Structure 1
């Protein structure tokens, strides 16, 4: 195994890079100016940014081919909404509505609270808006039932008189009054009952549904509703509010909130890069190289984003985090190139030094770029548009960073090398002496002398921090007791990580798409606190022409419905069925023939006009489809919601009669059914791909396996610790796990390649040599990446904070693997040598 090598393309790549470096070093000005011109041209694509921006929550955060979207299409085709007979139960979308939740710490069903609520309800209903020179109130645009606006069940029960609440024995979850039987499941929250009699409730929820006939009018009314509720105060009642458009409106505000953060990030990253490249020698100083390195990353983002916008690519909110990430990633290769430049002989020509630099850095910068880009482009296969678009933009930006570092940064490295060769000052470009002339002051020696180098090796003098890794840290790490401690530490790391993996939650809470200080955050919190026991009313639709008049067919359908009622997440005491009601209606009538069934059904429907919406007749007057309703419950967690959805669909599929289950919320719940499998699939495929690349570029197959091991180890750590850090597995964290694959390779590949390329004989010496050469650049890259995203930690939005949390975990664990775990593990395998 020690003699078996897989570096079939390593030498050709190194030679190719040497040729490129030689050519760029010969014509540096061309390669310095042309990229700026190209970037300016491609940057024109930002003209289309507004047109290309897409912030639709459903399109971004739900599976593109989710089953619920097909189910919705079926429901919309056979059960279109009736504008004159509005029913929230029968909505095939979320509808257009405004809502508020009134809460009390003790009991909301008291006279003072209800008086507050009645005043607020009156203000909402009497609120006036102007649309096309017409004054409109709620009554003018409300969703109607037989010409009247829908109203709140509780206010109807107390007849809009708060004092009546003490005279009524309110029952829950349903209440029967003179106006009929009504469900209070979505109206009263945190209810305490005694023999079905309500003792107290902590919340009442109000909905104001609007017609969908003219959405422009409705949007204006909803905007005024938000304004009214934001300015309104009540005497004793706390109120939270939202609308059907609020989530989308608040989501669209989020990208603007991070614009100030980018300027902070750019300043921090620029400062760190300059300081880390600062040299006390006035000639060997790399301040301008660092500055151009950051500028090169900016050009790469400008060019890549501009090109994609010119090509018509959509720009979604998740892409807003890309510049933060790319700014950190982009300068990693710069640190490697500077490190390689400093190893070249100062007496060689600039052309030869740049050629040597490119040859030395070729594999290190290529393997990290190839793995990052491939991992991200592989993420484009995700079923989530937000993940696809992010991966497209981020992958292309990293590719441009690679190209610009080679041509643009490399060209400036050559220009800076020409300055160094002529021993000119880094700031004034005036020639200065190598040694301090006699009689000159110490101040002159500090400011006006430079150009020193190591006379033994002919290379630039080693930086103190670089020497730290070779002289102190490396030998310390390879001590036996240190290795034993590292193994114990790694075992603890794995134990905590695996524990966290089993605590992982799935799916994104849509309330988190808004900023923390958004008004809808309080609404979602109140809704979760007080209205989580009962879930949505799920439609069960028959997807075939069924002979309902045949008793066998009715028994089969009834058996399937019974299976639904047996499910843990279905309320056995609630089932709304037109067929059951019809059979009670026709108890003494003949319904076992098609003719009599249809004739009596028409009589039945004439007395119950709302039920017409649950039966679809085709052109031949046959029942093509019909639907029933189930009440779900106990689905407060994402796992329960996922299990509920899967169990409903499995039960429907098991029925001999073709059934479709649907609720508008299923559009978003679909993410739970695909996120885990898709994430695992992407990670496995990407890891195998990374292993193949490592086998091609790293001169030893066993060390390539260690790279694959590092990827898996870092991913396990990130997944485990992100669960402990209260981050769920959703489309946002999925993006970061894809990034994790590339970053894991970055750290491990650098160390593995340096280890097997070392000319040292002993494995401990190889590890020390690898850390001496690349320890500092790896740490520089890690810190620069963290600084690139640290500003996101101050964001008031879950998405951006999640990006920071996961990038922090990825970089931290990747760095620890690169400079601690992996060097130690490599010393354990004697076969992993250069031979």
Structure 2
């Protein structure tokens, strides 16, 4: 395989880029001005940004077309909610419209008279909140009693059964027996937390009490008013709580809109970080490209490279906003990433420019630069863009939007690097060609007298180059990779150490992959200092014993009056109740109650007319059951029951519970579905691994195809693919060590991982296989010499591009930083350590040196007419008869000489 080369695409591509480089060097102003004008035009698309922004959590972070959404549509259609007179929180197909407070005792027990005295004050304070509104020109004060969800008797639903039991007498709480989890036919599992039980399930102590206030939302007008009152509650409740001077309880609060509003606020908090990021990146780029030569200094080139990346973001985002593509929160991460990628490509181009012959014209230097750098940049851009566009296949809206925006931005970044930045590089080359100062553009001396100060030489002298190679004097860091790092890494004992280090890395990564958790915790969508975080912490600590109360719905018409059908339904219910995540003591079934009532009153349930005719009696005794049956004429179209889940405390429990309940429903003889509003979010567990593996495998396969087409050796293309797999394993494994779950946010970053892992490995592999030296060690030293420093620059610039996100108070942006850091760190580790060693050990896949007649004459000094050669660029002002001698010694000492 080492002798088989796939350079049929690479060679013509290189020739094409050579011509483009020459053209840009000849007409730089056209290639500079036109992209800037295009950016100005397309940038106007940001006018539509407010219309394109989407912050809906369900839309972004739950699977598109997830099963729970279809189940919700069924429940909504067949079991509509009535929140005026027949409200039941457990029968909602959404979370409902509510505000909730958790009061935690500052001592060891919340069931005391002093504590309940404060709870009653808190309850009264919430109910007395009112907000003014103007409806049809009429001023109106909205209070909770006007908006509350109502139960029988048209009264507001109690905020907590225990507050109702004490009847405004807090001392009574110490005299009544509070049983748990059932208290006076009411389930207390969601209202009382941190419970310690005594004999006969009597509560001895409890640490927390939850108060819940449901509001109406059936009609559009009620929903709008309830939302207005809830927003007023959010804004005023902190001050209202402080006025109560509570000494026995600590209060946290939450509302049905809190998760969404806090998510939006956390997203917008990242905007100030853009300016910090661009400042840091520009500063780093300038510092890494600064030289103590007033002509060869690349300060303006480095600065414009960052600006060019910014123009690419402006142009691509504006275009997509013009086209109506939704802008979601995850896209806010993209500019940080694009900046790092753009600067990385800039460093590669600058490095290639510095390797060209100084005495050549700008057009020729640009042609040589593009022939060398553009193919490498094309490989990495194609792989990055393809990785992101493959990510569009996922079922998460947040991932789709991010991949569309980022993939398109990378295309524009590539175009702008080759045109806009390339044009600026050519203009800077013209300045260098005329030996002008980098700051004032005034011609300076090439050499200074020895008595001149070092400061004068650094600031007022420039234009020097290596007289031997005819290239710019290499950067100290570039020399370090060539003289020290490359020979060190190719030492046999160092190679052994690297192989052992890689073994430890791979073992740690694989172990971590087995420990990674799935799914996004909704509490992470709010900022760390949000009131939502405090509420979630207390809810998890004190109210996690009982999970969702799940609906079990019969989805088709069945003859309930048939005893065999009823037996099948009962067997299905028993299957649910025998599950480890279900407590059968708290199941609720209208059919079971109906059978019990029928037996008591000797009703015949085996006759359709009697069965349907006597249902009204059941509704008189148990009016809530009327919402559990869709009865049309003499047919029951659908009905539902309820089961109570327990011990659902982790994401793994949520996933297993959902899968097991759905499997039980599928295996039943009766057509069933299971549903709870939380299942909308639990659905992510069922697809996240499948989506991630699918994206990774497809993208990795595509990366291999691109690599094998553009890197002129199939064996090295395999090594690039190996690097992709290795980095993905490492990033995924170390995610678990850094407490990052596998969710839609980290899935985005694994897609990024595929593209970035190609970046580092492709640069080194391409330089390695393009080298003509016969020894593998020599080829890898040359590859590190030319690309070691640019790769280091690119990696550091990308990390600096996202490091500001580490200071964000939002989980989304911190997670983005963590995984990008892992991707870049492991990418550089592979590109600069692992892959160079493995290529020398197992991948002897370089180009075989081609010895033609002219090369042989050059190296042996037997050229017939050495005086015809032009050495003016290497020996300025010297025109003697020793050309043959100088020529022969120069080429014999050339390490590239075949």
* Smaller-chain TM-score bracket: over 0.9
1:158 aligns with 2:166: yes
1:353 aligns with 2:365: yes
Q: What is the CA–CA distance in structure 2 between the aligned matches of 1:830 and 1:804, rounded to whole Å?
A: 33
Q: 1:335 to 1:182 in 2, by over 3 A?
A: same
Match of 1:100 in 2: 101
Q: What is the CA–CA distance in structure 1 between the aligned matches of 2:386 and 2:310, rounded to whole Å?
A: 21
Question: Deviations 1:519-540 (Å, cap 9, x if unpaired)?
Answer: 0100001001111110011000
Match of 2:529 in 1: 517
Match of 1:207 in 2: 212
Question: Deviations 1:142-185 (Å, cap 9, x if unpaired)?
Answer: 00012100002111122232111111111111012xxxx11101
Q: What is the CA–CA distance in structure 2 between the aligned matches of 1:456 and 1:259, rounded to whole Å?
A: 50
Alignment partner of 1:626: what SS? strand
8 Å contact from structure 1 (residues 7, 695) kept in 2: no
- In structure 1, stretches of 5+ residues that fail to align are none
Alignment partner of 2:534: what SS? helix
Which of 121, 124, 131 is 1:122 aligned to?
Answer: 124
Question: Deviations 1:718-744 (Å, cap 9, x if unpaired)?
Answer: 011111100000000000000000000
Q: What is the CA–CA distance in structure 1 between the aligned matches of 2:464 and 2:216, rounded to whole Å?
A: 79
Deviation, 1:322, is 1.1
8 Å contact from structure 2 (residues 386, 407) kept in 1: yes
Deviation, 1:415, is 0.6
Between structure 1 and structure 2, the one with the greater Rg is 2
Q: What is the CA–CA distance in structure 2 between the aligned matches of 1:477 and 1:446, rounded to whole Å?
A: 34
8 Å contact from structure 2 (residues 519, 741) kept in 1: yes
Question: Deviations 1:640-693 (Å, cap 9, x if unpaired)?
Answer: 100000011111010111101100000011011100111011001100110111
* 1:401-440 alignment runs, 5 A limit: 401-437=413-449, 440=452
8 Å contact from structure 1 (residues 332, 780) kept in 2: yes
* 1:307-386 alignment runs, 5 A limit: 307-386=319-398
Deviation, 1:256, is 2.1
Q: What is the CA–CA distance in structure 1 between the aligned matches of 2:646 and 2:843, rounded to whole Å?
A: 60
Q: What is the CA–CA distance in structure 2 between the aligned matches of 1:145 and 1:23, rounded to whole Å?
A: 79
Which of 615, 622, 628 is 2:629 aligned to?
Answer: 615
Match of 2:113 in 1: 111
Q: What is the CA–CA distance in structure 1 between the aligned matches of 2:404 and 2:529, rounded to whole Å?
A: 31
Match of 1:557 in 2: 569
Q: What is the CA–CA distance in structure 1 between the aligned matches of 2:79 and 2:654, rounded to whole Å?
A: 25
Deviation, 1:189, is 0.8
Q: 1:523 to 1:441 in 2, by over 3 A?
A: closer
Q: What is the CA–CA distance in structure 2 between the aligned matches of 1:350 and 1:174, rounded to whole Å?
A: 85
- In structure 2, stretches of 5+ residues that fail to align are 849-898
Question: Deviations 1:72-108 (Å, cap 9, x if unpaired)?
Answer: 0000000000122100010000100000000125111
Which of 651, 657, 681 is 2:664 aligned to?
Answer: 651
Deviation, 1:498, is 1.4
Match of 1:777 in 2: 790
Q: What is the CA–CA distance in structure 1 between the aligned matches of 2:453 and 2:535, rounded to whole Å?
A: 70
1:818 aligns with 2:831: yes
Flag as ranges the 4+ runs of structure 1 deviating above 4 A.
437-442
Deviation, 1:441, is 4.8
Q: What is the CA–CA distance in structure 2 between the aligned matches of 1:808 and 1:520, rounded to whole Å?
A: 28
Deviation, 1:241, is 0.3
Match of 1:9 in 2: 9
Aligned residues: 830
Which of 256, 269, 273 is 1:257 aligned to?
Answer: 269
Q: What is the CA–CA distance in structure 1 between the aligned matches of 2:454 and 2:126, rounded to whole Å?
A: 79
Match of 1:184 in 2: 188
Which of 621, 624, 632 is 2:645 aligned to?
Answer: 632
Alignment partner of 2:788: what SS? helix
- Output the aligned Cα RMSD: 1.1
TM-score by length of 1: 0.98
Question: Deviations 1:293-339 (Å, cap 9, x if unpaired)?
Answer: 01100100000000000000111111111111111111111100000
Q: What is the CA–CA distance in structure 2 between the aligned matches of 1:29 and 1:20, rounded to whole Å?
A: 14
Match of 1:37 in 2: 37
Q: What is the CA–CA distance in structure 1 between the aligned matches of 2:56 and 2:7, rounded to whole Å?
A: 47
Q: What is the CA–CA distance in structure 2 between the aligned matches of 1:744 and 1:383, rounded to whole Å?
A: 24
Q: What is the CA–CA distance in structure 1 between the aligned matches of 2:116 and 2:497, rounded to whole Å?
A: 65
Alignment partner of 1:452: what SS? coil
8 Å contact from structure 2 (residues 764, 831) kept in 1: yes
1:63 aligns with 2:77: no
Q: What is the CA–CA distance in structure 2 between the aligned matches of 1:51 and 1:631, rounded to whole Å?
A: 42
1:674 aligns with 2:687: yes
Q: What is the CA–CA distance in structure 2 between the aligned matches of 1:433 and 1:364, rounded to whole Å?
A: 36
Deviation, 1:440, is 4.9
1:530 aligns with 2:539: no
Deviation, 1:439, is 6.6
Deviation, 1:700, is 1.2
Which of 140, 148, 168 is 1:134 aligned to?
Answer: 140
Deviation, 1:468, is 0.4
Which of 182, 190, 198 is 2:203 aligned to?
Answer: 198
Alignment partner of 1:641: what SS? helix
Q: What is the CA–CA distance in structure 2 between the aligned matches of 1:58 and 1:250, rounded to whole Å?
A: 14
Q: 1:572 to 1:438 in 2, by over 3 A?
A: closer
TM-score by length of 2: 0.91
Q: What is the CA–CA distance in structure 1 between the aligned matches of 2:605 and 2:449, rounded to whole Å?
A: 116
8 Å contact from structure 2 (residues 776, 844) kept in 1: no
Q: What is the CA–CA distance in structure 2 between the aligned matches of 1:500 and 1:628, rounded to whole Å?
A: 41
Q: What is the CA–CA distance in structure 1 between the aligned matches of 2:418 and 2:329, rounded to whole Å?
A: 30
